[in-house]
Structure 1
Protein backbone atom coordinates (compact mmCIF):
# COMPACT_ATOMS: atom_id res chain seq x y z
CA UNK A 1 0.00 0.00 0.00
CA UNK A 2 1.26 3.46 -0.81
CA UNK A 3 2.88 5.13 2.16
CA UNK A 4 4.02 8.67 2.64
CA UNK A 5 6.82 10.59 4.29
CA UNK A 6 5.26 13.81 5.56
CA UNK A 7 7.18 16.87 6.64
CA UNK A 8 5.68 20.05 8.08
CA UNK A 9 8.66 22.36 8.13
CA UNK A 10 8.95 25.92 9.34
CA UNK A 11 11.75 28.30 10.19
CA UNK A 12 13.81 26.96 7.29
CA UNK A 13 17.13 28.77 6.94
CA UNK A 14 17.83 28.75 3.19
CA UNK A 15 21.59 28.56 3.27
CA UNK A 16 24.27 26.34 1.77
CA UNK A 17 23.23 23.27 3.81
CA UNK A 18 19.61 23.36 2.66
CA UNK A 19 20.68 23.93 -0.94
CA UNK A 20 22.97 20.88 -0.76
CA UNK A 21 20.13 18.87 0.84
CA UNK A 22 17.76 19.83 -1.99
CA UNK A 23 20.37 19.04 -4.63
CA UNK A 24 20.98 15.60 -3.10
CA UNK A 25 17.66 14.24 -1.82
CA UNK A 26 16.30 13.04 -5.18
CA UNK A 27 19.17 10.57 -5.53
CA UNK A 28 18.34 9.13 -2.09
CA UNK A 29 14.69 8.60 -3.09
CA UNK A 30 15.33 6.83 -6.41
CA UNK A 31 16.38 3.39 -5.04
CA UNK A 32 13.16 3.25 -2.99
CA UNK A 33 10.82 4.55 -5.72
CA UNK A 34 10.11 7.67 -3.68
CA UNK A 35 8.42 10.55 -5.51
CA UNK A 36 7.52 14.04 -4.38
CA UNK A 37 3.75 14.59 -4.31
CA UNK A 38 3.81 17.98 -2.57
CA UNK A 39 6.88 20.13 -2.03
CA UNK A 40 5.86 23.43 -0.53
CA UNK A 41 3.78 25.28 -3.05
CA UNK A 42 1.30 28.07 -2.63
CA UNK A 43 -1.39 27.39 -0.04
CA UNK A 44 -4.95 28.61 -0.23
CA UNK A 45 -5.79 28.66 3.49
CA UNK A 46 -9.46 27.86 4.13
CA UNK A 47 -9.55 27.22 7.87
CA UNK A 48 -7.19 27.59 10.81
CA UNK A 49 -3.52 28.36 10.35
CA UNK A 50 -0.72 26.32 8.87
CA UNK A 51 2.59 28.11 9.11
CA UNK A 52 5.46 26.68 7.15
CA UNK A 53 5.60 24.24 4.27
CA UNK A 54 4.17 20.79 3.65
CA UNK A 55 6.28 18.13 1.98
CA UNK A 56 4.77 14.79 0.93
CA UNK A 57 6.83 11.99 -0.61
CA UNK A 58 5.06 8.82 -1.81
CA UNK A 59 6.58 5.33 -1.60
CA UNK A 60 5.10 2.08 -2.89
CA UNK A 61 5.12 0.59 0.63
CA UNK A 62 5.81 1.40 4.26
CA UNK A 63 8.84 -0.89 4.10
CA UNK A 64 10.34 1.21 1.29
CA UNK A 65 9.59 4.45 3.16
CA UNK A 66 11.33 3.13 6.29
CA UNK A 67 14.25 1.80 4.23
CA UNK A 68 14.71 5.20 2.54
CA UNK A 69 14.70 7.12 5.84
CA UNK A 70 17.15 4.65 7.42
CA UNK A 71 19.39 4.44 4.34
CA UNK A 72 23.00 5.57 4.70
CA UNK A 73 22.52 7.99 1.79
CA UNK A 74 19.60 9.78 3.46
CA UNK A 75 21.10 9.65 6.95
CA UNK A 76 24.20 11.35 5.55
CA UNK A 77 22.22 14.39 4.34
CA UNK A 78 19.57 14.48 7.08
CA UNK A 79 21.62 16.79 9.36
CA UNK A 80 21.73 19.36 6.56
CA UNK A 81 17.97 19.75 6.98
CA UNK A 82 17.54 19.08 10.68
CA UNK A 83 20.16 21.70 11.66
CA UNK A 84 18.46 24.32 9.50
CA UNK A 85 14.72 23.75 9.85
CA UNK A 86 12.19 23.06 12.56
CA UNK A 87 9.20 20.84 12.06
CA UNK A 88 7.59 17.45 12.27
CA UNK A 89 8.38 14.48 10.05
CA UNK A 90 6.58 11.13 10.04
CA UNK A 91 5.65 8.15 7.89
CA UNK A 92 2.00 7.20 7.33
CA UNK A 93 0.13 4.61 5.30
CA UNK A 94 -2.35 5.69 2.66
CA UNK A 95 -5.73 4.10 2.04
CA UNK A 96 -7.04 1.78 -0.65
CA UNK A 97 -8.58 3.32 -3.76
CA UNK A 98 -12.05 2.20 -2.63
CA UNK A 99 -11.73 3.69 0.89
CA UNK A 100 -14.80 5.44 2.29
CA UNK A 101 -14.88 7.73 5.32
CA UNK A 102 -17.03 5.28 7.29
CA UNK A 103 -14.38 2.54 6.94
CA UNK A 104 -12.66 3.91 10.05
CA UNK A 105 -15.76 3.13 12.14
CA UNK A 106 -15.16 -0.60 11.83
CA UNK A 107 -11.50 -0.50 12.91
Structure 2
Protein backbone atom coordinates (compact mmCIF):
# COMPACT_ATOMS: atom_id res chain seq x y z
CA UNK A 1 0.00 0.00 0.00
CA UNK A 2 1.52 3.38 -0.88
CA UNK A 3 2.15 5.89 1.88
CA UNK A 4 2.68 9.60 1.87
CA UNK A 5 4.54 12.30 3.69
CA UNK A 6 2.23 15.30 3.62
CA UNK A 7 3.37 18.73 4.75
CA UNK A 8 1.28 21.87 5.16
CA UNK A 9 3.80 24.70 5.19
CA UNK A 10 3.12 28.26 6.26
CA UNK A 11 5.23 31.38 6.55
CA UNK A 12 7.74 30.20 3.97
CA UNK A 13 11.00 32.11 3.85
CA UNK A 14 13.69 31.83 1.20
CA UNK A 15 16.52 31.44 3.69
CA UNK A 16 19.86 29.98 2.59
CA UNK A 17 19.24 27.01 4.92
CA UNK A 18 15.99 26.23 3.09
CA UNK A 19 17.80 26.31 -0.24
CA UNK A 20 20.42 23.92 1.15
CA UNK A 21 17.60 21.66 2.39
CA UNK A 22 16.13 21.61 -1.12
CA UNK A 23 19.55 20.76 -2.56
CA UNK A 24 19.92 17.79 -0.20
CA UNK A 25 16.46 16.29 0.35
CA UNK A 26 16.27 14.08 -2.75
CA UNK A 27 19.38 12.18 -1.66
CA UNK A 28 17.58 11.35 1.62
CA UNK A 29 14.51 10.09 -0.27
CA UNK A 30 16.30 7.91 -2.84
CA UNK A 31 17.17 4.98 -0.51
CA UNK A 32 13.46 4.74 0.43
CA UNK A 33 12.09 5.14 -3.11
CA UNK A 34 10.47 8.43 -2.08
CA UNK A 35 9.34 10.83 -4.78
CA UNK A 36 7.73 14.24 -4.81
CA UNK A 37 4.14 14.24 -6.05
CA UNK A 38 3.34 17.85 -5.07
CA UNK A 39 5.92 20.44 -4.13
CA UNK A 40 4.42 23.72 -3.09
CA UNK A 41 2.73 25.30 -6.09
CA UNK A 42 -0.08 27.71 -5.34
CA UNK A 43 -3.28 25.75 -4.80
CA UNK A 44 -6.67 26.66 -6.19
CA UNK A 45 -8.80 26.73 -3.05
CA UNK A 46 -12.38 25.81 -3.99
CA UNK A 47 -13.76 25.26 -0.46
CA UNK A 48 -12.63 26.78 2.81
CA UNK A 49 -9.26 28.45 3.23
CA UNK A 50 -5.75 27.15 2.80
CA UNK A 51 -2.99 29.39 4.09
CA UNK A 52 0.41 28.28 2.89
CA UNK A 53 1.52 25.56 0.54
CA UNK A 54 1.67 21.79 0.47
CA UNK A 55 4.21 19.10 -0.21
CA UNK A 56 3.31 15.48 -0.91
CA UNK A 57 5.96 12.76 -1.07
CA UNK A 58 5.03 9.20 -2.04
CA UNK A 59 6.69 6.06 -0.65
CA UNK A 60 6.04 2.41 -1.47
CA UNK A 61 4.72 1.81 2.07
CA UNK A 62 4.32 3.35 5.52
CA UNK A 63 7.36 1.53 6.92
CA UNK A 64 9.51 3.17 4.25
CA UNK A 65 8.05 6.60 4.98
CA UNK A 66 8.80 6.19 8.68
CA UNK A 67 12.30 4.88 7.96
CA UNK A 68 13.00 7.92 5.76
CA UNK A 69 11.78 10.39 8.39
CA UNK A 70 13.84 8.69 11.10
CA UNK A 71 16.93 8.21 8.91
CA UNK A 72 20.17 9.88 9.97
CA UNK A 73 20.41 11.51 6.52
CA UNK A 74 17.02 13.23 6.84
CA UNK A 75 17.54 14.11 10.50
CA UNK A 76 20.77 15.84 9.50
CA UNK A 77 18.88 18.31 7.27
CA UNK A 78 15.49 18.58 9.02
CA UNK A 79 16.39 21.72 11.00
CA UNK A 80 17.39 23.50 7.80
CA UNK A 81 13.68 23.60 6.91
CA UNK A 82 11.98 23.46 10.31
CA UNK A 83 13.92 26.42 11.73
CA UNK A 84 12.64 28.69 8.96
CA UNK A 85 9.26 27.39 7.81
CA UNK A 86 6.32 26.74 10.13
CA UNK A 87 4.32 23.68 9.24
CA UNK A 88 2.83 20.30 9.98
CA UNK A 89 4.05 16.97 8.63
CA UNK A 90 2.01 13.79 8.52
CA UNK A 91 2.90 10.27 7.49
CA UNK A 92 -0.20 8.51 6.24
CA UNK A 93 -1.02 5.28 4.47
CA UNK A 94 -2.81 5.61 1.16
CA UNK A 95 -5.51 3.43 -0.30
CA UNK A 96 -4.99 0.63 -2.77
CA UNK A 97 -6.07 0.64 -6.41
CA UNK A 98 -9.32 -1.20 -5.61
CA UNK A 99 -10.45 1.16 -2.84
CA UNK A 100 -14.24 1.54 -2.71
CA UNK A 101 -15.56 4.49 -0.67
CA UNK A 102 -19.04 2.90 -0.59
CA UNK A 103 -17.52 -0.07 1.26
CA UNK A 104 -16.12 2.36 3.84
CA UNK A 105 -19.59 3.87 4.19
CA UNK A 106 -21.12 0.43 4.76
CA UNK A 107 -18.55 -0.30 7.46
CA UNK A 108 -19.27 3.00 9.22
CA UNK A 109 -23.02 2.35 9.02
CA UNK A 110 -22.61 -1.16 10.50
CA UNK A 111 -20.38 0.24 13.27
CA UNK A 112 -23.05 2.81 14.19
CA UNK A 113 -25.79 0.20 14.17
CA UNK A 114 -23.75 -2.10 16.43
CA UNK A 115 -23.35 0.79 18.86
CA UNK A 116 -27.13 1.26 18.84
CA UNK A 117 -27.19 4.63 17.16
CA UNK A 118 -28.11 5.65 13.64
CA UNK A 119 -25.37 6.86 11.33
CA UNK A 120 -25.72 10.63 11.07
> TM > 0.5 between the two?
yes
Root mean square deviation, CA, Å: 1.0
Measure how far apart 1:98 and its partner are: 1.2
Partner Cα separation in structure 2 for residue 42 and residue 9 of structure 1: 12
TM-score (norm 2): 0.85
Q: Find the counterpart in structure 2 of residue 57 from structure 1.
A: 57
- Counterpart for residue 46 of structure 2: 46
TM-score between the two structures when normalised by the length of structure 1: 0.95
Counterparts of 2:71 and 2:93 in 1: how far apart (Å)?
Answer: 19
Higher RCO, 1 vs 2 (CA within 8 Å, ≥6 residues apart): 1
Q: Which stretches of structure 1, 4 residues or more, deviate above 3 A after TM superposition?
A: none
Structure showing greater radius of gyration is 2
In structure 2, the residue matched to 1:36 is: 36
Where does the alignment leave 5 or more consecutive residues of structure 1 unmatched?
none
SS of aligned partner of 1:89: strand
Cα displacement (A) at 1:41: 1.2
The residue number in structure 2 matching 1:69 is 69
Aligned residues: 107
Matches within 5 A, 1:1-107: 1-105=1-105, 106=107
